[in-house]
Amino acid sequence: MAVLKGAAIFGQSGGPTSVINASAAGVFTEALKQDCITKVYGMAHGIKGALDEQFYDMSQEDLETFELMKTTPSSALGSVRYKLAKAEDDDTDYKRLLEVFKKYDIRYFFYNGGNDSMDTCNKISKYMQKSGYEMRVMGVPKTIDNDLFGTDHCPGYGSAAKYIATSTMEVYLDARVYDKGMVTILEIMGRNAGWLTAAAQLATIKGCGPDLIYLPEKPFDLDDCMNKVAEIYKKNKNCIIAVSEGIKDKDGKYISEYGTDLAQQKDSFGHAQLGGLAATLANFAKQKTGAKVRGIEFSLLQRCSAHLGSKTDVEESFRAGQEAVKAAVSGVTDHMVAFERDMSSGSYVCNTKLLNLSEVANTEKTVPLSWIKDDDSGLTQDFIDYALPLIQGESCPPMVDGTPVCTS
């Protein structure tokens, strides 16, 4: 394979994570080492930055910045949710990108994101090939949702899972202090895949897990859930439920809409945002049990709490970025870096592999139904064996004067 000489560009896309910048640091440090890469750019706000010629020149940054990026949550370059049209329907953006790539002699395109971002990579690559513009396009996986197809797990998941497991344990301890008891609803991210909510199961290892766990992989039955809550509360004077934000009933209706229906039914003011799923379920639980109830949303905290990052996740995310650059330089294009678990030594080893972009794009990986217990009491040992290696080790930004230091 002939050496391809030119500039490289990297962008971050979709929802941020605690470790998305670790992958960026991996791409940048590796790209800056490569002789064939003449310049290294970071796109401001993903593909929008490429379209608008809003780049950062990463060769201006020092090694300390890249080191700090490993522990800085959220997207340091800025992210975007922007879906490219099909080139057949509207090729405006593609033409513009080609123009920009030519202008800056950009020959390496790295994009960090989930399903949609891999779709973006795929479309760009196909267009450039058709236009005869030589370019290597590589995807770097990222999503706390852990729903990317073909990879054992996704960068970002381990840290979010560690935060969720730890916070669930802490809430468990807090919820048990009074002799009166309480019903607590933990609302966890995940519209279609329940990997994040499943992570609450990891709190059971230390005896501090939820009583019930509901993932979007299975239809949610409100009456059945409330009967179980009442039974557990009656027995233990306490009940903790972890629910995915995306749980739906058998008719495909989001449970979170039950609450807004109630609010909207009578008043146009509240709109669809008054009270989330946790508040809605807490209200139902109060009606059913008369108990003190509390709905807790982990909200953005679960995806940005780099102060409680998984060291395993940070290191793997960095490596995913490095491997994307190495592969591209060696001649690979149209692939995403993926993880492969090797347990042959008896303990967890994570290897990387490459997946064809068209295999990955727009396919979601959900939690296997066989890992979800039939009685809604949680996940099986298979899940624990799967997830536990991903939360190992602690990563925290340098703490100065009581709070973290991050790049800006």
Segment 164 to 203, residues that bind its own copies, using CB under 8 A: 165-167, 169-171, 173-179, 202-203
Cα gap 280→295, rounded to integer Å: 8
CB contact at 8 A, 24 and 113: no
- Nearer CB in complex with its own copies: 224/394: 394
Q: Which stretch binds its own copies (CB under 8 A): 25-33, 87-95, 127-135, 268-276?
A: 268-276
- Nearer CB in complex with its own copies: 347/370: 347
Q: Which of 3, 63, 349, 405 binds its own copies (CB under 8 A)?
A: 405
Q: Which stretch binds its own copies (CB under 8 A): 101-109, 244-252, 296-304, 341-349?
A: 296-304
Cα gap 41→319, rounded to integer Å: 19
The reply on whether position 385 binds its own copies by CB under 8 A is no
Q: How far is CA 407 from the centre of its chain?
A: 21
Q: How many positions of this chain bind its own copies (CB under 8 A)? A: 79
- Nearer CB in complex with its own copies: 16/216: 16
Q: Which stretch binds its own copies (CB under 8 A): 104-112, 131-139, 236-244, 306-314?
A: 306-314
CB contact at 8 A, 42 and 334: no
List residues with catalytic annotation: 145
The reply on whether position 85 binds its own copies by CB under 8 A is no
What phi and psi values does residue 350 have, to the nearest 5 degrees? -110, 120
Cα gap 11→126, rounded to integer Å: 18
CB contact at 8 A, 131 and 98: yes
**Bridge partners of 338?**
353
Name the minimum Å distance from CB 5 to its own copies.
Answer: 32
The reply on whether position 39 binds its own copies by CB under 8 A is no
Q: CB-based burial of residue 277 (10 Å sphere; 0-12 exposed, 13-18 middle, 19+ buried)? A: buried
Cα gap 213→234, rounded to integer Å: 18
The reply on whether position 64 binds its own copies by CB under 8 A is no
The reply on whether position 218 binds its own copies by CB under 8 A is no
Q: Find the binding residues for its own copies in span 236-265 (CB under 8 A).
A: 259, 262-263, 265
How many other C-beta atoms are found inside a 10 Å radius of the C-beta of residue 110?
Answer: 30
- Nearer CB in complex with its own copies: 78/141: 78
The reply on whether position 394 binds its own copies by CB under 8 A is yes
CB contact at 8 A, 115 and 364: yes
Q: Which residues have CB under 8 Å from 335's CB, separation 6+?
A: 138, 139, 327, 354, 355, 356, 357
The reply on whether position 283 binds its own copies by CB under 8 A is yes
Q: Find the binding residues for its own copies in span 119-148 (CB under 8 A).
A: none
